[in-house]
Amino acid sequence: MESTEFNQNVKQIAFDKEHQQRMMSRYESFMALTKDCTNHYSNIELEKSRAFNIRNKTFKNYDKLLVDFETNVINNKGVVRWALDADQAKQMIYNILSEEKAKNIIKTKSVVAEEIGLISYLQMKKMNVTETDTGEFICYQFDERPSNSSHAASHKSQQEIADIYSEKFGVKNNLSAKQLMTVTRKVLSDKYLKADVAITGADFIVADTGDIILSENDGNTLKSISNTGIHIVLVGIDQLIPSIDDVSTLLPLSSLYEVTKIKSKSLYTILSKPAGNVNRQKLYVILVDNNRSTFMEHEVQRQIFTCINCGACCSVCPIFNTIGGHVYDSAVPGPVGAVLAISGDCEQAAHLATLCGTCRQCEQYCPMKIKISDLLLRNRVDIIKQDKSLLAERNVYNFIMKKIESRKDMDKSKDFFNRMEFKQLLKKTWGVHREIPKFAEKSFSEMWREINKVES
pLDDT tens digit sequence for 56-70:
888 888 899 999 999
Burial 301-338 (b: 16+ CB within 10 A, else e): bbbbbbbbbbbbbbbbbebbbbbbbbbbebbbbbbbbb
Residues 6+ apart with CB under 8 A from 444: none
Q: What is the pLDDT at residue 417?
A: 60
Instruction: Give the domains, in start order, of the chain with CATH numbers.
Output: 3-7+299-386 (1.10.1060.10), 37-290 (3.40.50.10420), 391-451 (no CATH)
Segment 346-370, tens digit of pLDDT: 666 778 888 888 899 999 999 999 9
Segment 122-135, tens digit of pLDDT: 999 999 999 998 88
pLDDT at 278 over 50: no
Q: How far apart, in whole angstroms, are the C-alpha atoms of residue 215 and residue 213?
A: 7
- The H or E element containing residue 130 is strand 128-131
Q: What is the pLDDT at residue 274?
A: 77
Output the average pLDDT for the chain. 85
Q: How far apart, in whole angstroms, are the C-alpha atoms of residue 414 and residue 103?
A: 72
Counting every residue, how long is the chain?
Answer: 456
pLDDT band for position 250 (cuts 50, 70, 90): very high
Strand 212-216 relative to strand 197-200, pairing: unpaired
pLDDT band for position 116 (cuts 50, 70, 90): very high
Q: What share of the chain has pLDDT > 90, as a percent?
A: 37
The residue with greater pLDDT, 389 or 238, is 238
Q: Of 236-250, 355-369, 412-426, 438-452, where does mean pLDDT reach its minimum?
A: 412-426
Q: What is the pLDDT at residue 370?
A: 93
10 neighbors 320 (Cβ within 8 angstroms): no
Which parts of 254-330 are beta strand (E)? 267-271, 282-288
Please name which of 366, 266, 326 lies closest in space to residue 114, comparing C-alpha atoms: 326
51 neighbors 247 (Cβ within 8 angstroms): no
- Which pTM was predicted? 0.85
The counts of H helices and E strands in the chain are 22, 10
Please name which of 390, 318, 412 lies closest in space to residue 358, comparing C-alpha atoms: 318
Q: Of 11-15, 387-391, 435-439, where does mean pLDDT reach its minimum?
A: 387-391
Average pLDDT over residues 14-42: 84
The residue with greater pLDDT, 54 or 437, is 54
Q: Of 150-154, 176-180, 420-424, where does mean pLDDT reach its minimum?
A: 420-424
Segment 364-399, tens digit of pLDDT: 999 999 999 999 988 888 887 776 556 666 676 777
pLDDT band for position 17 (cuts 50, 70, 90): confident
Average pLDDT over residues 165-169: 91
Q: How far does CA 372 lie from the centroid of its chain?
A: 12
Q: Of 92-106, 238-252, 317-331, 382-396, where does mean pLDDT reach its minimum?
A: 382-396
Q: What is the pLDDT at residue 447?
A: 86
Q: Of 84-88, 104-108, 448-452, where does mean pLDDT reach its minimum?
A: 448-452
231 neighbors 286 (Cβ within 8 angstroms): no
Q: What is the pLDDT at residue 96?
A: 96
Q: Of 37-46, 86-95, 259-268, 307-316, where does mean pLDDT reach its minimum?
A: 259-268
Assign 335 to helix, strand or coil.
helix
